[in-house]
Amino acid sequence: MIIKPRIRGFICTTAHPLGCAANVDAQIGYVTGQVGIADGPKRVLVLGASGGYGLASRIVAAFGCGASTLGVSFERPPRDSRTATAGWYNNHAFQARATAQGLYAKTLDGDAFSDELKQQVIDAIAADLGQIDLLVYSLASPVRQHPRTGELHRSVIKPLGETFHVKTLNVDKGIVHEVDLEPADKAETEATVAVMGGEDWEYWINALAEAGSLANGFRTVSYTYIGSELTWPIYWHATLGKAKEDLDRAAAAISARLGDVDGTAQVTVLKAVVTQASSAIPVVPLYNTLLFAVMKDQGSHEGCIEHVYRLFVSGLYGASSEIDDVGRLRLDGWELASVVQDEVLRRWSVVCTENLEELGDLEGFRADFLRLFGFGMEGVDYTADLDPMSSEL
């Protein structure tokens, strides 16, 4: 089978096994080309390990710190003539590379919100690692079946209060147009908090603490985004922002619970990047297209792997952490610098379909998007006839 990208809106329904492996290799190559992190964690659990910021975190932990890693994700293996999801290929590639380096790596695919998956992780930690030093919470999901009530919560990406009239980008067609985004009601907002808020993070820590899986000095981080005022009406001041605000509450509750292992929980604010999750948020692709152009011009652009490496060497395991007044670890300073935001704002006010190429980096955005699914990687023969069932990567 010759595997080509099949794009449906903001998702690509195919993934290229060799391209995904090349993408994992490129990220490993970046990390091994940097200075190693001597004081980094040695036993790490990453929830949401198969793509985006979670995969980058697993790669930095393993190849930057020499850590044993346990990864959890929700990915689909290949079936009949359908390719697997990109995350499934990423997991396989990561696992093969880590094992070849003598690093322990185990991946559990299943619903991280469930009690069953939590128990499987606890068992794997007990059997293979003893305890963990770091838990990275990097799940991004549209649904969560609540493990206590059985209720299926569906998150929505909507503004709050009133209709938001805004510019947005049809990435496929390269057209800038205007949309009206209708506000969420109370039930939708609560459902979004149930899916993307801090309750599941707390459940994870409670379960792991009760099982004695947390090492002394244990740390946990949960990733969040705040962004600039351009995206606030659809992000930070919207349903997703309400869910993310709940992480602050959870971080305080978790930190209080971690006293006996001298542990800490921190919400960590990261920059905007292209991932499967962020591609689904209206307005964000247009904002990212302008932001990337400006940050590339100014030499401060980072993708997931560069950004997470910097998180580990500065805020997490280095000396130079920037903490805000709520106690969040901030890595988004470069994105939010006024020299960047003033220019993004200026471009935003005039951007239209005709000048998008000149003001934005649509090409870079599209390339990042395709790379998420293993397409457009250098050195990969995309004309090769492959068996999508093969995990020979």
Decide: is 111 part of the binding site for ligand NAD (CB under 6 A): yes
Determine which helix (DSSP H) or strand (DSSP E) holds 238, and give its type and residue range: none
Q: Quick check: helix, strand or coil at residue 391?
A: coil
Q: Quick check: helix, strand or coil at residue 252?
A: helix
Candidate list 75, 199, 246, 368; residue touching ligand NAD; CB under 6 A? 75
Between CA 48 and CA 141 the distance in angstroms is 9
Q: Considering beta carbons, is residue 49 or 214 the nearer one to ligand NAD?
A: 49
Burial of 302 (0-12, 13-18, 19+ CB in 10 A): middle
> Any bridge partners for residue 143, and if so which?
154
Decide: is 369 part of the binding site for ligand NAD (CB under 6 A): no
Candidate list 168, 278, 289, 391; residue touching ligand NAD; CB under 6 A? 278
Q: Looking at 235, 287, 309, 317, which residue is catalytic?
A: 235
Which of 387, 277, 372 shows the shortest CA–CA distance to 26? 372
Q: Considering beta carbons, is residue 213 or 268 the nearer one to ligand NAD?
A: 268
Tokens of 338: 């006024």
How many Cα atoms sit within 13 Å of 310 on the Cβ side? 19
Decide: is 113 part of the binding site for ligand NAD (CB under 6 A): yes
Decide: is 10 part of the binding site for ligand NAD (CB under 6 A): no
Candidate list 72, 215, 329, 344; residue touching ligand NAD; CB under 6 A? 72
Decide: is 57 part of the binding site for ligand NAD (CB under 6 A): no
User: Any idea how long the chain is?
Assistant: 393
Decide: is 48 part of the binding site for ligand NAD (CB under 6 A): yes
* Residue 287 designated active-site: no
Decide: is 289 part of the binding site for ligand NAD (CB under 6 A): no
Q: What is the DSSP letter of 87?
A: H
> Of residues 80-109, which lie at the interface with ligand NAD (CB under 6 A)?
87
Q: Considering beta carbons, is residue 52 or 282 the nearer one to ligand NAD?
A: 52
Decide: is 223 part of the binding site for ligand NAD (CB under 6 A): yes
Strands 152-154 and 143-145: what pairing?
antiparallel
**CB–CB of 311/331 below 8 Å?**
yes
Decide: is 74 part of the binding site for ligand NAD (CB under 6 A): yes
Binding site for ligand NAD (CB under 6 A): 48-54, 72-75, 87, 111-113, 138-141, 223-225, 270, 272-273, 275-278
